[in-house]
A and B are shown apart, each in its own frame.
Chain A
Amino acid sequence: MPQVEYKNIVNAPMDAVWSYVSVIDKWAPFLKGYVKHEELNDKESIWTLKGDVGVLCRVVEMKVNITDWDDDAKKVAFEIEGINEKATGGGTFIAVSQSDNETELTFILEINAGGMIGPVVNVLMKPMLKPVAAEMANKIKDAIEKEQA
């Protein structure tokens, strides 16, 4: 299963990081290929992404379900299920304070293509996850730091 973990030090206090990450609308457009998302309720939302799989670009719809929202541990965990593509996965954001003005933000994402050709799609997706996670984490960091400035 293709998986990526990306850590970033954000130059901001943990509360600021956490309050930013908690508002999905703020960072959703930072996800590469983001087209739109629609919140169904507190936990569930439908995401539309236009993403590359190998050389191909496809529009993917998926349901994201927040399984754990822990304000104390500053952790959000979610599950992903493909709507128009056979895929499952999940992810986590964790914020850990490093100092008064430094917070480590970790983003973990894993995704597993299903169906007969799943193994092939996974190979194609694998090299793409890291740059996607990195780009998103860096944009979040920049946005938070800009808010702080």
Chain B
Amino acid sequence: MTNKPEKWDMETDVLVIGTGAAGLTSAIVAKDNGAAVLVIEKSGLVGGTTSASGGAVWAPCNHHMTEKGIDDSREEALVYCKQITKGRVPEELVEKYIDTVPEMLKFMEDTTPLKFEVATMPDYHPQFEGGHDGKDSRTLGPLTFNKMELGDSMAKLRPNPTMGLPLTFAEMDEWDSICKPQNVDFELIAQRMGEGLCGFGEALMAALYKGCLDRDIDPIVNTRALELVVDDGKVIGIIARQEDKEIYISASKGVILASGGFEWNEELKNTFLPGEITHPNSPPYNEGDGLKMAMSVNAKLGNMTEHWGWVSMSIPGEEVDGRPLSRGSLTERALPHVIIVNKKGKRFVNEAASYNDMFKPFWEVNENTLEYKNLPSWHVFDQQFHDKYAFLTVMPGEDVPDYILQADTIKELAEKAGIDPEGLANEVEKFNGYVEKGEDPDFNRGKDVFDHYWGDADNKPNPSLGYIKKPPFYAMQNYCGSLGTKGGPRTSTDAQVLHMSGVPIPGLYAAGNVTAVVSGPSYFGAGGTIGPAMTFGYLAARHAAKQ
């Protein structure tokens, strides 16, 4: 059977679907390996979720670590990763990642304007065997990039709504910006913005985009891949929609799916996920189109119940891409003087743990009522927090907007929020007892190096634990956010999509959040999604270009 058209509208060797980290990395690499390349993008802008991200890349044994004299080894990294993947990811895939990410980074830095430096972020479970803490970090952060270098194409770059400042992770550390936002030099940032500089995920994508433009690859935007064209069991192209017309694009060497997850598709979420994602943090174009195309050719699926969890909040009236903007909670939940509670007023998680893993209890269900045990839930903090730290866009000491509930007593606050007042008062009292001792026997908050990174070193004895006792008290409701889903077609070590039978489907590749990702249920460290997206994009492109 074939759905091959009589005539193709466009023809190429390698067709890349999507313009995030996975997509543009594969476009660049395919071209440099001799293939003609076309890239299509569903939205009007280039960059995907990656552009809206922190842009960090998790890369054991990378050359920047070596240059800084940081020790790492393949064996250490493997031991660490296996504890993260919990036996749910084929070992050869993890090995391939660890073996290839340093080479991929070196290649990208040598051949494009993309540049990184070592950050000081610990792995997300640094206490695991083989884990690294912030002193010997495996996380790289992108350097700032001047968008003016993109010329007219600058307008086609997706801006970053929450992490768009032209800064580096190193500067954030230097200013101790997590605990002391007042140290941040906003005048300097404003000056850099005026000059056209961008940072984080936007810098990463701007640099990759420039790498594409330098190779005469300019993604065709507003073009949505819909269907694979298959001939005699081989994927030879796609059908895409541009406005109201359908176009056929052939790809003689391969189609690379790099179209992100399905966090914006209600039907797919209901089908595969065991809980709700009401507030995705990605741009709203990741609707599982790549997954559906892979399913149409009987791809073997994996990791379908997982996503990159991110507990989030929403400021009323704030929108991006015509949808409410979902802002993740990072420092808001991990600094002292704040807890997260459910409607009974009870804590249920180590608030300072990694966002992916601390998300898991949000989907716990009560076996009798079938209601979520921990939804709705709230951040509850006191004036000491507000005196010292930023909460969302509210800087220390500034007027607290109405959307953050406030009250003079804990019970009054609970009543306003709809939390059990007695329960919350008791929990706060218990928590304050833990603060006194500097230990959280319920959830071990502040015990590990990871928690300390997001805490306040000046807060003794435990950088994550601070009393909640100075009125007024504040509460803000949480929602189930997500950086993206991370289940999809299983892939070979060359990023070929595998058929249900286990053999590669000729002509079809996938990388990034469209796939069953290499970290399985958990998260290696900051950059643990973009690192694999780029690495498997690199592998896909090299393999496809050789066909």
Contact = CB atoms under 8 A, between A and B. Distances in A.
Interface residues of A, number: 18
A55 B159 contact: yes
B194 A123 contact: yes
Nearest to A50: B317
Nearest to B181: A116
B89 to A, nearest CB: 35
Given A56-B318, A59-B317, A86-B398, A119 B187 contact: yes
Given A55-B159, A55-B160, A123-B194, A116 B320 contact: no
Contacts of A57: 317-320
Interface residues of B, number: 27
The majority secondary structure among interface residues of chain A is mixed
A117 B187 CA distance: 9
Contacts of B190: 119-120, 122-123
B393 interface: yes
B182 to A, nearest CB: 7
B189 A115 contact: no
A50 to B, nearest CB: 7
Contacts of B398: 86, 115-116
A117 B401 CA distance: 16
B283 to A, nearest CB: 10
A118 B186 contact: yes
A55 B402 CA distance: 23
A120 B318 contact: no
A58 B317 contact: yes
A54 interface: yes
A41 interface: no
A117 B472 CA distance: 24
A55 B164 contact: yes
Given A116-B181, A120-B165, A56 B189 contact: no
Interface string B175-194: 00000011010110110011
A115 B400 CA distance: 12
Contacts of A50: 317
A59 B401 CA distance: 13
Most chain B beta carbons < 10 A, residue from A54, A117, A118:
A117
A33 B360 CA distance: 39
B395 A115 contact: yes
B316 A123 contact: no
The 8 lowest CB-CB distance pairs between A and B, nearest first, are A59-B317, A119-B190, A55-B159, A57-B319, A116-B395, A123-B193, A123-B190, A119-B186
Given A116-B395, A122-B190, 17 more contacts: A50-B317, A54-B161, A54-B164, A55-B159, A55-B161, A55-B320, A57-B318, A57-B319, A58-B317, A59-B316, A116-B184, A116-B186, A117-B186, A119-B189, A119-B190, A120-B186, A124-B193
